[in-house]
Amino acid sequence: MNQFPLLALAIAMAAGLFMSRLVRYVRLPNVTAYLVAGVLLGPVFGVLDVTTTSSLSIISDVALGFIAYSIGAEFKLSYLKNIGVKPIVITCFESAFASLVVFLALNALGQPLPVSLTLAAIAAATAPAATLMVIRQYKAKGPVCSMLLPVVAMDDATGLILYAVLSNLAISLDKKGVELNVVSLLLMPLLQIILSLLLGLAIGFLLAFVLRFFHSRGNKLALTLCAVFLGVGLSATNVLNLSSLLVCMMIGAALVNLSQGSDAMLEQCDRFTPPLFMLFFVLSGAGLDFSVLTTVGLVGVTYVLARVAGKVLGATLGAVVEKCDRNIVRYLGLTLIPQAGVAIGMARLAMQDLPEYGAIINAVVLAGTLIYELTGPVITKTALLKAGEITPENAAPKKKAA
């Protein structure tokens, strides 16, 4: 199959589409369907082997760029001014506590520091798609939903920044015979973050400027592709070696704040990216190494439980500090359990950055994603029902064709 990459992509897309139809009957999100399809094609039936998925890594690189780009587009300054500081404070609390609890739990198990640090960074990310799907499906409204939307929008950005810091620390610790000092542990990761954001800002500024000379939908989409490709490509060069996630996130943030035509470009991007994301998730599932799962069972369980505990504790404390509505204090943390795209993306990067531990990290995150995506939407729905933000009428199953 490695000799026929287009055939491999066709099979991956067909399997993803077919599985997405099947999961409708059990009301699961599409990302779960894509991951299951990948697992069936890869580890189970061997249609897509590790060599094939590795040869198609460019798909993952581009998909990660667009995921980060769409996250950055959520950071419109006028919107951030309107929502105030409460979501920001809560996001910092729940992200930090999720990372801290996961790190302490894995460290207590005796895991190597690079593994504990990297999984701690990945633990901060939340999947906004699954959460938004529940809110839209059941037409949920109320204080918890109003707080939840900005929190999940900022959550992945916090996770990307944590990953940039902690992954660099993990890489430094993983390098045998390299002397560790303040420069390698703190200043270099900080410099990488600053340079990544500056490069993204420069590309975003250039994109906003050039956009004024192109008006058709096709040209706007071409400009978006060019900007994301440029960000990912420059980040991967040996000279720069920056974080492509932070670069692309900053491109989106710069565009949405500098250009009045950003809405049209983002709409075009939303139409283009679904097949790309489908391939990303299917290939991620196909690349899962089942042999590693047998060795990380306890690590995986610890990661799943510790992350949930950290999210709930952090969100609760943040809401208490900001004196939020009682229902926000009680239920917001339970709505932050889903985890998917950005977490999987960071795990894929870990396979490149930490070859010795990457397979373990990837296996834990993918297994955790399947669990979170199976249980997260159900828990979110239950929490919003208890908060009174989903009416019994909207919660009842609708009798109409899919």
pLDDT tens digit sequence for 62-83: 888 887 888 788 778 887 777 7
* Chain-centre distance for alpha carbon 189: 20
Q: What is the pLDDT of residue 286?
A: 85
Q: What is the pLDDT of residue 130?
A: 64
CA–CA distance from 13 to each of 16, 275, 369, 400 (Å)?
Answer: 5, 8, 20, 27
Q: What is the DSSP string of 238-300?
A: TTT---HHHHHHHHHHHHHHH-TTHHHHHHHHHHHHHHHHHHHHHHHHHT--HHHHTTSHHHH
How do residues 376-399 score in pLDDT, each as one tens digit?
777 888 888 888 888 766 655 555
How do residues 214-237 score in pLDDT, each as one tens digit?
888 888 889 999 999 999 999 888
> Does this model's pTM top 0.85?
no
Check the CA dihedral 343-349-354-355 and report its sign: positive
Map residue 340 onto helix, strand or coil: coil
Average pLDDT over residues 141-165: 79
Q: What is the pLDDT of residue 184?
A: 58
Q: How far is 68 from 90, CA to CA, in rounded Å?
A: 21
How many CB atoms within 10 Å of residue 385? 17
Average pLDDT over residues 245-266: 86
Q: How far is 128 from 339, CA to CA, in rounded Å?
A: 8
Burial of 241 (0-12, 13-18, 19+ CB in 10 A): exposed
Alpha-carbon Rg for the chain in angstroms: 20
How many CB atoms within 10 Å of residue 183? 11
Q: How far is 162 from 361, CA to CA, in rounded Å?
A: 16
Q: How far is 354 from 395, CA to CA, in rounded Å?
A: 44
Q: How far is 323 from 105, CA to CA, in rounded Å?
A: 29
**Are the CB atoms for 88 and 269 separated by under 8 Å?**
no
Q: How far is 382 from 331, CA to CA, in rounded Å?
A: 9
Q: How far is 351 from 361, CA to CA, in rounded Å?
A: 8
Tokens at 378, concatenated = 């159900």
